[in-house]
Structures are given as C-alpha cells and as structure tokens.
Amino acid sequence: MIPIAKPLLGAEEQAAVLHVLNSGMLAQGQKVAEFEQAFAQFIGVRHAIATSNGTTALHAAVLAHGIGPGDEVITTPFTFIATANAIKMAGATPVFVDIDEDTFNLNASLIEAAITSKTKAILPVHLFGLPAEMDKLQSIARKHNIVIIEDAAQAHGAEFQGKKVGSFATGCFSFYPTKNMTTGEGGMITTNDNQLAERLRKIINHGSTQKYVHDSVGYNYRMTDIAAAIGIEQLKKLESFNQKRRANVRYLHQKLASIPGIIFPSLTEGHVFHQYTIRVTPKFRVSRDIFLKSLVEKGIGCSIFYPIPIHKQKAYVPYGSSTYPVAERMAQEVLSLPIHPTVSETDLDTIAAAIRGLA
C-alpha cells in the first residue's frame, strides 16, 4: 500500500528525543524556546509561539485578536473542520465565502460582499500547500480595518510573491504527523506584533506571564519539549521534504500530461503540495468514486479532502444559510494522490499506470 501521508523521521529525531528524555526536562524547558526561535527565523517573523496542536494555535490566535461572541470571521467552507471550530470555540460566528475552483482557496472577489459591521477577521486557509491570494486579502483587510489570521496548517515553507506564509499576518501552523513536517501533535503561531505575542503567551499558559500570577483566564496549550526536539530536526529537513514533494509532482505531470476530464493542479511557484489534488470531472470516463475505489484496490492510498464542505456538517448547518456552489462541486470532484517524500518513482509509475488504465 502506498499511504496518502507518512511522516519521515530518522536517527536525528530519535537522538533528539532521547536527549530530552535523559535531561528530565520534558516540558517548559529549553527545547521549546529553541524551536520557536528557529521557526520564527525560518518564516521571517519576530515571534513564534509553540502550541499543543494546530487547533489550539488557531483558537489562541482568534482569542488574542480580541474576537469573541457577536463577532464574525470570514473563512472558507472547503477546509479541515478545525478552521471553523477555532472560530466557534472563541464564541464568534463563522461566515463562509465560496472558493475558487482553480486554487481551492477563498475567492477574494467574493469577500467584500460578506463583510458587515460585525466582521473582525478574515481567516484564509493555504489549502493543500498553495498560498491564498494574500495581496488581495491584505488590501481588503486594510480597507475595512479587519485582521487576517492565516491557517497555514498545510503550508510550512509555502511562499506567496517570494514571502513565506505565516509572515503576512498572524500565522497558525500544525505539526500533526500527516503535515509537511511533524512533532507528533504540535502547533505554532507566528507574528511580528510584540503585544499580540505577549497576549498569545498568556493565553496558552493559564493567563500567566509570571509563575503563579494569573492576569486572566487562559488555557494549557503548551508544546512539550519532546515535541519541540522533534520539530527542531524536522525543520532542518523541511526544505528538502518540500523539494521532494515538488519533484514528485513534476514527475507525475510528465507521466500523465493531459487526460480529458481530469484537471491537474498547476506547479505554482511557492506551492508546497501538502496534498496533490486532482479533479475527476463528470467528463471523465468513470465517476470520481469509482476512480477512487479502483486506485485503492491497486494499493494506492488516495483520499478525498474534503468530502463534505463545512457548511454541510451538522454542527455548522445554522451558519450555512447560503449555498457555496464551487465548494460543493469540488467536494464531488477532488481526489488527492500520494506524493509525499517517501513516495518513490516506482510508486509514481504505479499511480500513473493506474490512472492511464482508467482513461
């Protein structure tokens, strides 16, 4: 079986974890600070705050911007549930805006129509590793005096116009094992804003900046030093992981060129291909679901991200008063193929042959 995702861990991570275990400093030690510094430098921001996972990173970011009950946050209905959950966890209201079928990201031209006096933020997702159109989003945000929180959980190292995602606004990352780099469970928030960074550090640590002094109610959203030690080693390898992802995509593109009825993602500069997501349109010879079943039968772990848009999920039905036709159509057409760094050329040959066999 060629899995859809697989973490790539080596002797470096093993040694780093052992070092932490032997030190006895499993939490609130030096490794978290070291990982935060390295990550901030990599993204090109002043501050990086490590968290327990990507969901808590997003939740803390929404809270740190003072967003809560009565406030609206514009986001995409075509993402992992955590994006919308973070808005709800803060007591705010998600307002969905449809996506662009060429990028699977928020359609910037539809955002202004969704802005009201209650809108406090735009929460774009750099879905599948492709940056959202940050220039357009930033000009909308500036015009309406609202903030941007980037969900970069799938886009470590991705660049838009030569700048890393997570450096445009408040960036939120996840280090879950399926992501481009991992710490097991883990997350990171990036910002250039000193005061925001201070608020974030309080929120993730029981409202405390000084031991046993609590200025506000907060959470325990801290990362462990075991996770941070893994993260430090993974970060060193991230660029090579992302290069391998792009090389795998190039290879598949050469093998498949063009197939009527299938739309391949473009090899956009700065795209880090967290997922390689094709569209099996109704013009293709077989349905998307038969396509999927046939590849899985051949040992190719393809998967559908995401089969149900958020506004169709039970918990979000009250927020989905409108329809989002593109998101709904994409949910019917998308299919992601394994291209992660442990996928070999032989694997890619198998994948290409399986797809050719269906065409």
Ligand X SMILES: *Cc1c(COP(=O)(O)O)cnc(C)c1O
If one asks whether residue 132 binds ligand X (CB under 6 A), the answer comes out as no
Question: What number of other Cβ atoms are within 10 A of residue 110's Cβ?
Answer: 15
If one asks whether residue 200 binds ligand X (CB under 6 A), the answer comes out as no
Catalytic, out of 179, 202, 211, 283: 179
If one asks whether residue 234 binds ligand X (CB under 6 A), the answer comes out as no
**Pick from 153, 125, 84: nearest CA to 314:** 84
Query: Which residue, 111 or 125, has its beta carbon nearer to ligand X?
Result: 125
Q: Please report how close the Cβ of residue 13 comes to ligand X at its closest, in angstroms.
A: 18
Binding mask 48-67 for ligand X (x = CB under 6 A): -----xxx------------
138 CB-near residues (< 8 Å, 6+ apart): 148, 168, 169
If one asks whether residue 176 binds ligand X (CB under 6 A), the answer comes out as yes
Count the site residues for ligand X by CB under 6 A.
14
* Tokens 């549930």, residue located: 81
Please tell me the number of Cα atoms within 13 Å of 352 on its side-chain side. 19
Structure tokens at 223: 């990362």
Which of the stretches 29-37, 79-87, 129-137, 204-212 binds ligand X when contact is defined by CB under 6 A? 79-87
Query: Which residue, 55 or 93, has its beta carbon nearer to ligand X?
Result: 55
Query: Which residue, 79 or 234, has its beta carbon nearer to ligand X?
Result: 79
Q: Please report how close the Cβ of residue 82 comes to ligand X at its closest, in angstroms.
A: 4
Question: Which pairs with CB-CB distance under 8 Å and at least 24 residues apart come from 285-288?
Answer: 285/261, 285/358, 285/359, 286/358, 288/332, 288/333, 288/334, 288/335
Distance CA 274, CA 58 (A): 19
Query: Which residue, 80 or 319, has its beta carbon nearer to ligand X?
Result: 80
Query: Which residue, 75 or 119, has its beta carbon nearer to ligand X?
Result: 75
Residues 133-152 that bind ligand X (CB under 6 A): 151
Binding mask 298-317 for ligand X (x = CB under 6 A): --------------------
Residue from 67, 99, 106, 125 touching ligand X (CB under 6 A): that is 125
179 is catalytic: yes
H helical segments located in the chain: 11-23, 30-43, 54-64, 81-89, 134-144, 194-203, 225-256, 288-297, 325-333, 345-358
Q: Please report how close the Cβ of residue 179 comes to ligand X at its closest, in angstroms.
A: 6
Q: Please report how close the Cβ of residue 35 comes to ligand X at its closest, in angstroms.
A: 15
Distance CA 179, CA 286 (A): 30
Please tell me the number of Cα atoms within 13 Å of 161 on its side-chain side. 7
**Are 198 and 207 spatial neighbours (Cβ–Cβ below 8 Å)?**
no
**Pick from 196, 130, 137: nearest CA to 165:** 130
Query: Which residue, 79 or 190, has its beta carbon nearer to ligand X?
Result: 79
If one asks whether residue 73 binds ligand X (CB under 6 A), the answer comes out as no
Residue from 77, 187, 218, 341 touching ligand X (CB under 6 A): that is 187
Binding-site ranges for ligand X (CB under 6 A): 53-55, 79-80, 82-83, 125, 151, 153-154, 174, 176, 187
- Catalytic positions are 179
